Structure 1
């Protein structure tokens, strides 16, 4: 009879101190440099940078990230926004002024418009009277007059049609 392989027994659970020590060991092993590799350290070059050097200037070609059309649209939208603000401020000033006036002020403002309306009405009336005087309203018909009173109706199917026969 052969022996069946058995799984090893599970290790006993670690205490909190043992688990912390094992975690520190695993982290130290993971970050330990290999043979011949220096340990990782921080390094800063403290030599002062020269204010100018012997290297000739390098041409830097213009590489815009924004196409000219988009820049133009942006400038145009700023101009439209500024214009809208200007119109809004003008309307606010006008309405502030109009809200502070009395009935006499309203009549004084409306007087020129009323005068223009009266003149326009007078001119329109004069023009219509001149036209009425030159046109004739007498209707003279020449020729014989016939009157058709026969009506024929046909109903077929869904639609019906009525015609006047001549």
Structure 2
């Protein structure tokens, strides 16, 4: 037994079903809290003192980590401040800031050159060898083995 509907009746029935489905929204729960009091177990509460033992190396590692972290933050802030200051100056300002470093470098170079010249001999005499110089060098190569291990001995 199938009832046949006219297109107008089918349209009205579809609209009624759709409206009925969207009238009552289904709540979407995201959490649940149980307000019922906990059931007693009969056990008395027991004091649990804190008796943890922390190894010395762990304390040292923690202190060193905190120190390194704080130091790196300080260095980072200093670099950031220096970068902010350098971003605000002109080429003339940069050159003016570098003048003391260039001066120190020139003084170091001058002192190094003076020490180099002072260390070298100022006498003009040359060493003259009167005896004949003879050097006998004998090289003995040895190659043996399946993968040709080479061993060279120098005899003087």
State TM-score, norm by structure 1: 0.47
Larger Rg: 1
State TM-score, norm by structure 2: 0.49
